[in-house]
Amino acid sequence: MAEHERELQRLERLANQMDALFRIPGTGIRVGADSIIGLVPGIGDSLALAPAGWIVWKARDLGAPNGMLVKMGFNVAVDTVIGAIPLIGDIFDVGWKGNLRNVRLLREHLEAEGKATPAARADAA
């Protein structure tokens, strides 16, 4: 269980960096590297795909069932496709937070399997 928990915490840190690292001053809105690098036309959203894919890959390694992997892949696809639309995609990225969605799904699965502890949860969004 400790190994699963450690890996899950690493993935949660990565998802937080990608989706909710900074709070926009004067608001409760959080943005991360995904939103920032997504502003770079053409390559920003492609670069953000690597950490998102890594999260799904590690979820597979940690025993996530195929149905969950499909759902996680859908979250990544939505983030990538809509995120690629200039301006609209950038605004969408701020609210969608696909990486945090995916690690939340993984945590819930691992908790249900007894491979992660609920007390370790540190939701960032």
- Stronger pLDDT, 78 or 40, i.e. the higher one: 78
Other CB atoms within 10 Å distance of the CB of residue 63: 13
In a domain, 35, yes or no: yes
Task: Tell me what pLDDT residue 106 has.
Answer: 97
Residue 94 structural domain: 2-116
In a domain, 122, yes or no: no
In the chain, the number of structural domains is: 1
In a domain, 34, yes or no: yes
- Inform me whether the pLDDT recorded for 121 exceeds 50: no
Give pTM, 2 decimals.
0.89
Give me the mean pLDDT over the 79-107 stretch: 92
Collapsing DSSP to helix, strand or coil, 71 comes out as helix
- Inform me whether the pLDDT recorded for 80 exceeds 60: yes
3-state SS string for 48-69: HHHHHHHHHHHHHHCCCCHHHH
Helix-helix angle 2-19:44-61, to 10 degrees? 170
In a domain, 33, yes or no: yes
Q: Specify the length of the chain in residues.
A: 125
